[in-house]
A and B are shown apart, each in its own frame.
Chain A
Amino acid sequence: MMLADIWSYQIGPDYWWLIVLKGVIIVLFLATAAAYSTYAERKVAAHIQLRIGPNRVGPLGLLQPAADAVKLLFKENVAPAGRDKLLYLVAPAFAAAAAIFAFAVIPVSGVSTVHGYQLHWDIAHLNVGLLYILAVTSLGVYAIFLGGWSANSKYSLLGALRSSAQLISYEMAVAFALMGAVILSQSLDLEQIVLAQHRAWFVLLQPLGFLLYFTGALAETNRLPFDLPEAETELVAGYHTEYSGMRFGFYFLGEYINMVTVCSIATVLFLGGWLPILPFLDFIPGVLWFLAKMLLLLFGMMWIRWTLPRLRYDRLMNLGWKVMLPLGLLNIAVTGAVVAVKASL
């Protein structure tokens, strides 16, 4: 085979090297974004709580994430006796992986044409992108459950049990919340969903769907008021009580990448993705619009965390099954009816 053949070998519509390149960029971006979300979280928390926050390492404390990473890397990995060695080791890897997987199909900008070549701004352009996201985000629960189970600690076990119950009940509600957007755009392709919002963002047409998704997203990422799996004042640290060093770091990383991911999904599905807020502002690159909207949602999540108390476990399940799920179904029914009536007119 000629070198040129290898070079032009395609997987789907894309050159293979382009996919690798995009993959590397996205993973680096996510790792950095996660690190700096911890910085942002601490800064936001500090200012809400009349403090200053990290300001010692580098200008404005901007190198704090690096210092944290170094600290975590050099910390001793204390592992409990009686653990399940294999699961204990691999569980943290799941935490980050599941969140990164989901990002593969998220279009961060519209299709651009480079030398006549259609460049998609996602790693894998799937026409069932939304289904893929729903599938892979469910993997996240394995990280928590296996980590909590394998550590052979009661607090970890309780955290793991809580999280599996929580994630399963919220997945359903979240999936239903997203269906409204699918009905309106008549597509599971995330690019098509964004393009369908060029007149009105779905947050305006689907306010209930957005609220349901955002609430569910808080529960899926274990953020307050739904941070029951790691409820530190009850379960010490929940499922990662027995993790330390970089293994704990992976859970930490996973949580923040997950936040970035769910905020990106919400941006794509409800906030018009890369579309500018007003049409004449389209000289600003789509990526920046995407980032700005994502960061806004991220800030919202932090704001909520530092304001509200935690829900109780049984109330949380009630909310998921008895409130959010019926509301999600209602949302689908109403949206479907409106679309059908409009089509028949």
Chain B
Amino acid sequence: MAAILPPQQPGLPGGEDTFAEGRRRLGVPPDLDNVELTEIGEDTMELNMGPQHPSTHGVLRLVLDLDGEVVRACRPDIGFLHTGFEKDFERHTYQQCIPYSDRMDYLAPLINNLGFSLAAEKLLGVEVPPRGQYLRVIMCELARLGSHLIWFGTHALDMGATTPFLYAWRERETIMDINELVSGVRMHTSFIRVGGLMADVPDEFEAMVRTVVHTFPKAIDEYELLITKNPIWRERTIGLGTISAEDALAYGMSGPCLRGSGVAYDLRKAQPYSSYDHFEFDVPIGVNGDVYDRYLVRMREMRESLRIIEQALDNLPSGPVNTLDRKVAPPPRNEINTSMESLIHHFKLVTEGFSVPRGQVYQAVESPRGELGFYMVSDGSNRPYRVKVRAPSFSNLHALPYMVKGELIADVVAVIGSIDIVLGDVDR
């Protein structure tokens, strides 16, 4: 490193001595400049991949021990996107926590909202009316579709196919438009809140979601035409990054990564929440647990999500979307004008939020990446005492060193793509 030093001026601090003094105070060892560029030991070359690398999906850093192009060992280094959201939860009222949860898994923010809200609602003991539950399901499945579309695009991009990425974003755009319609925001919508939703959906909502339901199957067919049967793709992904069902469970994997290994574990079926048990859908699973199976699982999941959306839309009940418990959800405007009690509720909710009874709860939802769990402890105040998020990307990433051992560098990016990590979710 060649440090550019400010010109030494008489009587002013600066120059070589100040630089050395600064480094001494910061504890930078003086021999830092003489770093060996290559370390050779056991005939492997250490390659630093990331945190700035085109296909580590954000700021994941991998240290690879290479023997030629063969990966002998892989050491993931995480924490570059650590944001301290779990700590932030402790300093905010429950409703204020929702925007923070948006930003954890930023590819499926609504599902984070849902996980947090369900946990708080469980402690509060409130139930969201059917219309609110169905709308939550529709929005979450749309979020899952959007997330899977980005996964599809970036996975293909990692393997060198540039164009599917753009096609996937075209379709995702319609989902973003729906987000914008219902909440005014495209990505971090904070649409799902404790006690229900931000608001009921506008009239255009149904037509827009119907368009998604009708156009997406054709779009997914198009992707499959480009990628699924492509011999290059099959050759590169079949048999790569194989993980058995036992190993996947042992690593704590969940979601499509676990289902790719043949374990039909889907929280929407296993522990139905938000009226998922009202809908008919299948849980696609793989056989070999390789990259191709994980790919197929996600592609089929998109079609299943469309099925759920269609059923929810067909049977969408009428009625309120928020809980009628005025201690949790603010009363409607016209009620505030006429009822003193409502005015007080509104004032209390806006100024200090609602208090949650003492207790602890674990609520997991099926995020596009797997089991997204919220462990919430309440001390009875209006802020969570502690929230621990069980992030699916974090657990799934554990298996990466196991899956890439003995494979080539090109396969590392393919396996990362197939795990579908979001660094915001890994580090939180």
Interface residues in chain A, defined as those with a beta carbon under 8 Å from any beta carbon in chain B: 45, 48-51, 81-82, 152, 154-155, 158, 162, 224-225, 227-228, 231-236, 306-315
> Once the chains are docked, how many angstroms separate the CA of A162 from the CA of B159?
17
**Are A310 and B170 also in contact (CB < 8 A) when A82-B37, A158-B409, A232-B54 are?**
no
Contact present for A309 and B37 (CB under 8 Å): no
Given contacts A233-B54, A234-B409, contact A313 B69 (CB under 8 A): yes
Determine the chain B residues whose CB is within 8 A of the CB of A314 once the complex forms. 408
- Check if B161 sits within 8 Å of A308, measured CB to CB: yes
Given the known interface contacts A308-B230, A309-B233, A315-B235, the answer about A49 and B162 at a Cβ–Cβ threshold of 8 Å is yes
Contact of B236 among A224, A228, A315 (CB under 8 A): A315
Smallest CB separation, A234 vs chain B (Å): 5
Q: With A48-B163, A82-B37, A231-B410 given, is the CB distance from A312 to B236 under 8 Å?
A: yes
Tally of B interface residues using CB under 8 Å: 34
* Residue in contact with B166 in the complex, picked from A49, A224, A234, CB distance below 8 Å: A49
Q: How far is the CB of B34 from chain A (nearest CB, A)?
A: 12
CB contact under 8 A between A233 and B55, given known A309-B232, A312-B410, A312-B411? yes
Minimum CB–CB distance from A263 to chain B (whole Å) comes to: 21
How long is the Cα–Cα vector from A236 to B56 in the complex, in angstroms? 11
- 10 A–B contacts, CB within 8 A, in A order: A50-B166, A228-B410, A309-B232, A310-B161, A310-B410, A311-B235, A311-B236, A312-B235, A312-B410, A315-B235
The residue that B163 contacts in the complex, of A49, A233, A236, with Cβ under 8 A, is A49
Q: How many whole Å from A78's CB to the nearest CB in chain B?
A: 12
Say whether, besides A82-B37, A158-B69, A307 and B163 are in contact (CB < 8 Å). Answer: yes
CA distance in complex: A155, B47 (Å) = 8
Residues on A with beta carbons closer than 8 Å to the beta carbon of B235: 311-312, 315
Extra inter-chain contacts (19) besides given A227-B160, A233-B54, A315-B236, CB under 8 Å? A45-B162, A49-B167, A154-B48, A155-B47, A233-B413, A234-B55, A234-B412, A235-B409, A236-B53, A307-B163, A308-B161, A309-B161, A309-B227, A309-B236, A310-B161, A311-B232, A311-B236, A312-B411, A313-B410
* Cα A308 to Cα B233 with chains together (Å): 9
A225 and B163 contacting across the interface, CB-CB below 8 Å: no
* Residues in A neighbouring B167, C-beta threshold 8 A: 49-50
Q: Are B408 and A313 in contact (CB under 8 A)?
A: yes
State the B residues within 8 Å of A (CB): 2, 37-38, 45, 47-48, 53-55, 69, 156-163, 166-167, 170, 226-227, 230, 232-233, 235-236, 408-413
Taking CB atoms, residues of chain A closer than 8 Å to B410 are 228, 231, 234, 310, 312-313
A58 to B156, CA, bound (A): 34
Taking a contact as CB atoms under 8 Å apart, the answer to whether B156 and A309 are in contact is yes
Across the interface, do A309 and B160 meet the contact criterion of CB distance under 8 Å? yes
**Residues of B contacting A224 with CB < 8 Å?**
160
> Could you tell me the dominant secondary structure of chain A's interface residues?
loop
Cβ of B53: which chain A residues have Cβ within 8 Å of it? 236
**Distance A186 CA – B159 CA, assembled complex (angstroms):** 43
Residue on B with the closest CB to A153? B37
Once the chains bind, are A306 and B163 in contact (CB under 8 Å)?
yes
Report yes or no: B232 in contact with A50, Cβ–Cβ below 8 A.
no
Please report the C-alpha to C-alpha distance between residue A313 and residue B162 in the assembled complex, in whole angstroms.
18
Contact B162 A306 (CB under 8 A): yes
Bound form: Cα–Cα A158–B49 in Å: 13
Q: Is the Cβ of B54 less than 8 Å from the Cβ of A236? A: yes
B175 → chain A, closest Cβ, in Å? Answer: 17
Chain A, Cβ-Cβ closest to B412: A234
The docked-state distance in angstroms from the alpha carbon of A285 to that of B48 is 56
Most buried by B among A45, A310, A312, A315: A312
- Is B236 in contact with A233, judged by CB distance below 8 angstroms? no
Q: Kindly list chain A residues whose C-beta atoms are within 8 Å of the C-beta of B48.
A: 154
- B86 CB to closest chain A CB, in angstroms? 32
A120 to chain B, nearest CB (A): 42
Shortest distance in angstroms between B368's beta carbon and chain A's nearest beta carbon? 22
Q: CA separation between A308 and B236, bound complex, in Å?
A: 12
Expressed in whole angstroms, the minimum distance between the Cβ of A222 and any Cβ of chain B is 12
When the two chains form their complex, are residues A310 and B159 in contact, meaning their CB atoms are under 8 A apart?
yes
- Measured CB to CB, the closest approach of chain B to A57, in angstroms, equals 22
A50 near B170: Cβ-Cβ < 8 Å: yes
Cβ contact within 8 Å between A225 and B408:
no
State A227–B3 Cα separation when bound (angstroms). Answer: 37
Query: Closest residue of chain B to A232, judged by CB?
Result: B54
Q: How far does the alpha carbon of A233 sit from the alpha carbon of B235 in the complex, in Å?
A: 18
Report the minimum CB–CB distance from A270 to chain B (whole Å): 24
Q: For residue B163, which residues in chain A have a CB less than 8 angstroms away from its CB?
A: 48-49, 306-307
Set of chain A residues within 8 Å of B162, measured between Cβ atoms:
45, 49, 306
In the complex, what's the smallest C-beta–C-beta distance from B71 to chain A, in angstroms? 12
In the complex, the answer to whether B38 meets A154 with C-beta atoms within 8 Å is yes
What residue in chain B is nearest A228 (Cβ atoms)?
B410
Q: How far is the CA of A313 from the CA of B414 in the complex (A)?
A: 13
C-alpha gap A313/B409 in the complex (Å): 9
Instruction: Report Cα–Cα, A158/B64, bound state, in Å.
Output: 13
- CB neighbours (8 Å) of A162 from chain B are 69
Give bound CA distance, A199 to B358, whole Å. Answer: 91
Query: In whole angstroms, what is the CA distance A50 to B233 when docked?
Result: 23
Report the minimal beta-carbon distance from A91 to chain B, rounded to whole angstroms.
19
Q: Which of A224, A228, A231, A306 has the most CB of B within 10 A?
A: A231
Contact A310 B409 (CB under 8 A): no
Question: Across the interface, do B161 and A154 meet the contact criterion of CB distance under 8 Å?
Answer: no
Distance in angstroms from A296 CB to nearest chain B CB is 21
Expressed in whole angstroms, the minimum distance between the Cβ of B63 and any Cβ of chain A is 12
Nearest A residue (CB) for B411:
A312
